[in-house]
Structure 1
Amino acid sequence: MKLKYAILLLTLVAFFNGRSQQVIPIETKDFSMVFKTDQNKRLWNVYFGKKLSNLSDYNQIADQYEFPNSNAGIYNAAYTPSGTWSLSEPAIQVTHADGNQATDLIFEEVITTEVDEASLTKIKLVDPIYNLNIILNFKVWKDLNVIEQWTQINNNEDGSIDLKKYASANLYFTNKDFFLTHYQGEYLRELQPVEEKLSQGTKVIESKLGTRAMLLGSPNFMLSFETPSQEDSGLVVLGQLAWSGNYKLEFDIDSHQNLRLLAGINPYESTYTLNKGESFKTPSLIYTVSDKGAGNASRQIHSWAKNYRVLDGNGDRLTLLNNWEATYFDFNESKLSKLIENTSHLGLDLFLLDDGWFGNNHPRNNDDAGLGDWKENKKKLPNGLRYLVKQAKKNDIKFGIWIEPEMVNPESDLFKTHPEWVIKQPERPAKLYRNQMVLDLTNPEVQDFVYGIVDHLFTENPEIAFIKWDCNAVIYNAYSNYLNENKVSQNHLYIDYVHGLYDVLKRIREKYPKVPMMLCSGGGGRADYGFLKYFTEFWPSDNTEPIERIFLQWNYSFFFPAVTMDCHVTHWGKQPLKFKVDVASMGKLGFDIDLSHMSQEDIQFAKQSIQNYNGFKNVVLHGEQYRLASPYKNPFASLMYVNNDKSQAIMFNFLSSNRFMEIMTKRPIKLKGLNPDKHYKVKEINLYNNTKTTINESAVYSGDFLMTVGINPNITGNRTSVILKFEEVN
């Protein structure tokens, strides 16, 4: 079976070889992308669309399109070279060993094998003059309609070459009319959607921040064909560049109104030198295709992520209490011990100690000192972390801790001892972001230091059960003393930093493969599938105001499953506790609260809601998600999760507008994802203490009724948050 696809593909290639053309289909269950060579052995992307029944039919596709070359070169190259026959924006731009900047690429071979429950097709292109070859890689999970695409560039020339541009993917779509949804934002307003119809020219989405590269924008995108995006209909490509550094996405409408998509590392200040015999592997563009709208595309990428990418994607998640908003930097053993008791009293799984626990010569009493000095502050914690770990164990809960190991404050022993470890121009004044700078992870010594922070924590306290990994600074004054000393171009900094960070995370996971870790960056600055190989979850935003969180979590839901999203109840917002808990229950539930500031009624409700969450969280974290009513189009939001055998579903409903005339749901909301032939009873859960439901809980509904007619959750000004549980009845 291993060579099944290779044999089939090579048979197809041989069939067309007599016509001096070769056809290469990349097929999922429902869709195909087809490449074809011409008489000069150049490779073209001739089709992207519904899968054809007969392989031989793919040879006829190119003849049906009339797109003259004109003076811009042919647009639909499989991987557009620079400096020769094409004047289009290149996917690859190289300065060869002899200084020549022109590259041509012709097809040499294709091999397809089975790898990790997927098929992997490798297409080899070569320069006919220079000893340079490029491998286009397509890893396909057929049943999920998911493709992971990357490029490998191999230098076999007689000397070093400079890669000036090196895209991960070069896609081409001939469907008429394209609508792009991209996601811009800022701190506390991450992942804000913008949908626009693309017109002739190039739309560029990019980042140059170095770290927290997604803070102001995102490498996530959604392409809708023919019409604006719809939840349950229409052709959609939903994707992400899985890279944790600077990225660049280019959406180019050509003179024939077709779309070229180039995606990869941002080449800004990143010309990369490859010595003779070296290879460069680009990050992956991961995308899924659906002709049933964005909802189906999301479920496909969610399933892929849980099964094949996210660390422990099908595992459980720990509910927790975080001390950050309860204490900020002002705490001691007594305060923390009380919060540990509160964690147990509420019925949560873990206490998370946040920022401020370290630093002695430069105590971490605010964010301007101590970062980098990872020793317990003796004044705050005279008995060290070990005492708190024991307190957690005594209260039958687990203990977790916050770190920010990539960063340093100038006011720290680390900076004063190793100023050369910091990314900074040597002759220019330091530019700080949140009073800190970025450590130079291109340097193996720094990598060892960062790894050692985590390793020391676990060595000294092996019962630590959770890590919150933060990152709050971007890269200013980009310069590496290490690269300079080793005579490596400064243009390697942005790329080698990310590779260095990945290497550290690989080492951590090799020694500590199962410890849950949260990926934090103040918000959406780091939610990507390059990182999520090493992390179990991420922090969507420091903005925990629950109305805002409805919108934020809605936007994240297009690309990430609920099991990856940390959603906390905090003191932000004027909504009642029930509303806050219900919003946070749409992902991995956590609390940032101090029970001493809560009424007994709220404490009682919180305890009950945690029990309720533990009863249904498996449906939320591991079921299929369906977006029912968008808060962008309605004064309310509705979203549901359905378990695998469709015997249970959880429906979340929220009033998201405070306009007087829009404070109720006037019509039923249609459910999705149920079995039309099954029958269900409905029960309202997470009711506040002694509150009665207005839902008829004695009624039995068919799945067909619930999906065709729907149910009204009775959202009103007094019922702003309603969770409904549907269970199959015989």
Structure 2
Amino acid sequence: MKFPRTCAHRYMAILGAMMLVACGAMVDARAAASDSAAHIDVSGHVFRLDAAKVTYALGVNEKGQLQSIYWGPRLAPGDPLPAPVAPPGGDSINGAVDAVPQEYAGWGEGLYYEPDLKVTFPDGNRDLALRYLSHSVHGNMLSVVLKDIERPIVVTLQYEIDPGTGILRRSAVIENRTVTPVIVEQASAGTWFLPRSHDYTLRFLAGRWAAENSIYERPVQPGKTVLESRRGSTGMQNAPWFAIRRNDASETHGQVWFGALAWSGSWQIAIEQDQTEQIRVTGGFNPFDFGYKLAPGASLQTPSFYAGVTTGGMGEASRLLHRLELTRILPQAPHSRARPVLYNSWEATGFDVNEAGQTALAEKAASIGVERFVMDDGWFGARNSDKAGLGDWTVNPQKFPHGLKPLIDRVHALGMDFGIWVEPEMVNPDSDLYRAHPDWVLNMTGRPRTLGRNQMVLNLARPDVRAYVFGALDKLLSENQIAFLKWDYNRSWSEPGWPQVSPDQQKNVYVDFVSNVYGILEELRRKHPNVEIESCSSGGGRVDLGIMHLTDEVWPSDNTDAFDRLRIQDGFTQAYTPGVMMAWVTDSPSSMDGRSMSLEYRFLSAMQGSLGIGANLTKWTTQDVTTAQRLIADYKVVRETVQHGDLYRLVSPDSGSEHSATENVSPDKAHAVLFAFLHSSTEGYLYPTVRLQGLDADARYRVRVLQGTLAERTPTVASGAYWMNVGIDVVMRGDFQGAAIAFDRE
């Protein structure tokens, strides 16, 4: 099927690159199951997808509706599946259509629950009834085509299952084959159905600036819980992730359904229990203020919605999603490079950057083992504060009279690569760019233009704005040996108008803006394949599977207080792999809470992710330098395990816990590293015994202390079974203590 080249189609092409590698094969239902491949079986109008430990089944009923049949632990080959049967009818209150678990429901036929698609036609008709038209199978992707019963609105549903994790990717392509434009008012990737039950608990992540990713739980009860962002970007208010567990499920065992959206704009996930106690989870574009004008012959691709199921508890749900991100989502997947140890100059210099000062910092950073030096804000235009210069991406000649080359050359001579901060989607009113193009920002004619951090949002939906942003970044990268962009995004949208297009097309900005951000990132990566990029947004304001497909790491929070970070990182890893989690060692007392913590504690907190240093190195003592050199060297030994291994959250820091502990195990189980933390000891009680997880029970592991003290009589070598059942005792007393212990298979 071919689609016209529209902006929406451009987004579809980008998402096409995100599709999982096809490596399965269509097999007969009697074929033997294998965990090493994905299988799609078609029997009549029943479709069954199997991979890893998961089976997903759907089918077409006698009315032509596509309905869910089963989603859960993997069934045996040949196990019977219930036939898709539409209920015979409804009562005067609840129509029959509500009783059908439709995989993709149009708003019509008396539908009362959350629709997947809502369309307004030029004649005012808003009724949409989708029926099965055809299907096809290519590798491990099933495509099912639906069409309205009377008008040529065609929806192609995509189901793609990952062989390694059993996680399913769903999305929809909506095509207007009529002769007039239509307005798409709501569009999701699809709806997930859970088995009917009373014992479900929803887990989700919510927060704010400097307090991202707090874990919340609530019972799933009649009604609807809406997780969303209306900010034009992913947002900190909610993360685009959910998990629904059985009430008896825990971190280590029990059934959990989980999922995450791949979309970096306004989004919504609705968890709904209807009047028949059916659980539905629907996710896609946020319908608030949404109205995509779809021209005749044009198509609109929804975000992708990834979801999986496990019987291994919340911990296994996270590990499966982490594995998908590492092997399928990230730009370098499945062989992602380990993140280098990074230094960032922001906290040392603020906007006061110049060649001499940055060179001095680079020399100190190199002396402790840093591999990447990043110059932050203040290097361009008239940028001496956050009130001017954004948008003018030319080197400030007073600060760098010879350009960036002398600094970059010195950084390279010190054995590090060079990175730089940019915020390309924003503009200050006090800038040459805004003075030349005041119409380039999101705005509504005649209305105030709200400032956030003294800046406005450029309208990247406009082709000329997209061309300018790409051109400025391409020139910067082409003229300088830059290995890394810290891509920042420091405010949410306001006045999301687009006066240059017709009123009925202005709401296309919600899709076209994000499509062009993806397009710029994709084009930069193609033209500059050795450049790596971090997604930063005043902290964790833009972290999702969509932006992660085009960036190498993310910034979880502007809060770098080492103790606060334990809780933030615990929430972050519910959905996202530690391999992309940038974590800095910063000064003490912390700027956030005024809390004093040892340098060792600050390092251990940051070593649980991708290690960075943001402290003012000019204030460090000789002892600080020696400590940093030792811990950075230790981190380089264990970082492959930390960044690309399996994470076990052994003790949560949530809910005021005095203790927390995490463990990372390499995929081959040859190595593990334990991080343990104590807030405050009380009344002489010992730190609890820590029992490891995920080791090879029959293998023997040698213990190695990176930081901290072990109890007397701790064996030097013991079996995996010993460390997992007897455990290990770490000696910690006082306030803000930490330990790091490595385990290596002999």
TM-score normalised over the length of structure 1:
0.92
Answering whether residue 238 of structure 2 is matched by residue 217 of structure 1, we say yes
One-letter amino acid matched to 1:685: L
Pick one of 673, 689, 692 that aligns with 1:671: 692
* 8 Å CA contact retained: 2:711, 2:729: no
Q: In the TM superposition, what is the alpha-carbon distance from 1:696 to its structure 2 partner? A: 4.8
Instruction: Say which SS state the counterpart of residue 181 (structure 1) adopts.
Output: strand
Aligned pairs, how many?
A: 706
Q: Does 1:720 align with 2:732?
A: no
Give the superposition deviation at 1:703. 0.7
Distance across 2 between alignment mates of 1:425 and 1:66: 50
Say if 2:491 and 2:538, in contact at 8 Å, map to a contact too.
no
Query: In 1, Cα distance between the equivalents of 2:41 and 2:369?
Result: 65
Q: Is the 8 A contact 2:51 2:164 kept in 1?
A: yes
Amino acid of the structure 2 residue aligned with 1:475: W
The C-alpha deviation readout for 1:321-377, integer Å capped at 9, x for no partner, is 111001111232221111011111111112110001111xxx211111111111122
Aligned-partner residue type, residue 357 of structure 1 = W
Whether 2:149 is the aligned partner of 1:128: answer yes
- 2:529 is matched with which residue? 513
Contact 2:338 2:639 in 1 (8 A): no
Distance 2:418 2:145 in 1: 50
- State how far apart, in whole Å, the 2-side matches of 1:543 and 1:77 are: 43
Query: Match of 1:384, SS?
Result: coil
Task: Output one character per residue of 1:471-514: Cα deviation in whole Å (capped at 9) or x when no partner.
Answer: 00111111123334xx7611111111111111111111110123
CA distance in 2, matches of 1:3, 1:386: 46
Q: Deviation of residue 257 (structure 1)?
A: 1.6
Amino acid of the structure 2 residue aligned with 1:626: Y
2:531 matches 1:531: no
Contact 1:272–1:492 at 8 Å: present in 2 too?
Answer: yes
Over 3 Å counting, the alpha-carbon distance change for 1:570 and 1:695 in structure 2 is: farther
User: Shift of the alpha carbon at 1:383?
Assistant: 2.0
In the alignment, the residues of structure 2 paired with residue 186 and residue 455 of structure 1 have an alpha-carbon distance, to the nearest angstrom, of 33
Matched with 1:23 is 46
Task: Name which of structure 1's ranges 5-14 and 192-201 shifts more when overlaid on structure 2.
Answer: 5-14
Matches within 5 A, 1:685-724: 685-686=706-707, 694=711, 696=713, 698-717=715-734, 720-724=737-741
> In structure 1, what is the Cα distance between the partners aligned to 2:274 and 2:736?
51
Q: Distance in 1 between matches of 2:319 and 2:661?
A: 17
Say which of 148, 158, 162 aligns to 2:183: 162
8 A contact 1:79–1:92 mirrored in 2: yes
**How is 1:83-162 mapped onto 2 (pairs within 5 angstroms)?**
83-114=108-139, 119-162=140-183
Q: 1:336 & 1:414 partners in 2: Cα distance?
A: 27
Task: Indicate how the Cα distance of structure 1 residues 15 and 431 shifts in structure 2: closer, same or farther if over 3 A, else same.
Answer: closer
Distance 1:693 1:27, change over 3 A: closer
SS of the counterpart of 2:47? strand
- Whether contact under 8 Å (2:30, 2:78) holds in the other structure is no
**Does the aligned pair in 2 maintain the 1:3–1:113 contact within 8 Å?**
no
CA distance in 1, matches of 2:713, 2:409: 48
8 Å CA contact 2:340, 2:372 repeated in 1: yes
Paired amino acid for 2:507: N
CA pair 270-663 structure 1, distance change in 2 beyond 3 A: farther
Q: State whether structure 2 residue 668 is matched by structure 1 residue 652.
A: no
Asked if 2 retains the 8 angstrom alpha-carbon contact of 1:204 and 1:251, the reply is yes
Structure 2 counterpart of 1:396, one-letter code: G
Match of 2:200 among 170, 178, 182: 178
After TM superposition, list the pairs within 5 Å mapping 1:482-631 onto structure 2. 482-484=500-502, 489-571=505-587, 572=590, 573-631=595-653
Q: Is contact 2:59-2:84 (8 Å) kept? A: no
Cα pair distance change 1:225/1:136, threshold 3 Å: farther
Report the residue type matching 2:407 in the other structure.
Answer: L
Q: Deviations over 1:102-140 (max 9, x none)?
A: 1111112222221xxxx1111111112111211111110
The DSSP-based 3-state class of the residue aligned with 1:501 is helix
For residues 488 and 96 of structure 1, do their structure 2 counterparts lie closer, same or farther at Cα, with a shift above 3 Å needed? closer
**3-state SS of 1:185 partner:** strand
Aligned to 1:44: 67
Segments of 5+ residues of structure 2 without an aligned counterpart are 1-20, 32-38
User: 2:439, 2:460 → 1: CA distance?
Assistant: 12
Asked if 2 retains the 8 angstrom alpha-carbon contact of 1:684 and 1:695, the reply is no
Q: Which has the higher contact order (CA 8 A, sep 6+)?
A: 2
Q: For 2:704, what is the secondary structure of its paired residue?
A: strand
Unpaired stretches in structure 1, ≥5 consecutive residues: none
Match of 1:405 in 2: 424
Cα gap change, 1:291/1:609 in structure 2, threshold over 3 Å: closer, same or farther? same
Segment of structure 1 superposing worse, 156-165 or 349-358: 156-165
CA–CA separation in structure 2 for the residues paired with 1:581 and 1:242 = 32
Task: Report how far residue 99 of structure 1 moved.
Answer: 3.2
Deviation of 1:587 after TM superposition, in Å, equals 1.0
1:471 to 489, 492, 512: 489
User: Could you give the per-residue CA deviations for residues 52-79 of structure 1, whole angstroms, max 9, x where no partner exists?
Assistant: 214450135879x999776143251121
Conserved? CA contact 1:470–1:522, under 8 Å? yes
Distance in 1, matches of 2:439 and 2:713, equals 68
Percent identity between matched residues is 30
CA distance in structure 2 between the partners assigned to 1:232 and 1:678 by the alignment: 22
Shift in alpha-carbon separation, 1:191–1:2, aligned structure 2, 3 A: closer
Question: CA shift at 1:416, angstroms?
Answer: 0.3
Whole-Å separation in 2 of the counterparts to 1:67 and 1:564: 50
For normalisation by structure 2, the TM-score amounts to 0.90
Question: Given the superposition, is the C-alpha separation of residues 679 and 519 from structure 1 closer, same or farther in structure 2, using an over 3 Å criterion?
Answer: same
The alignment partner of 1:473 has SS state of: coil
Please give the secondary structure, in 1, of the residue aligned with 2:156: strand
Work out whether residues 663 and 715 of structure 1, in 8 Å CA contact, stay in contact via their aligned partners in 2. no
C-alpha displacement of 1:16: 6.2
| In 1, Cα distance between equivalents of 2:41 and 2:329 | 35
Q: Secondary structure at the match of 1:81?
A: coil
CA deviations on 1:266-306 (whole Å, 9 max, x unpaired) are 01122111111111110101122111111111111111111
1:226 Cα shift?
4.0
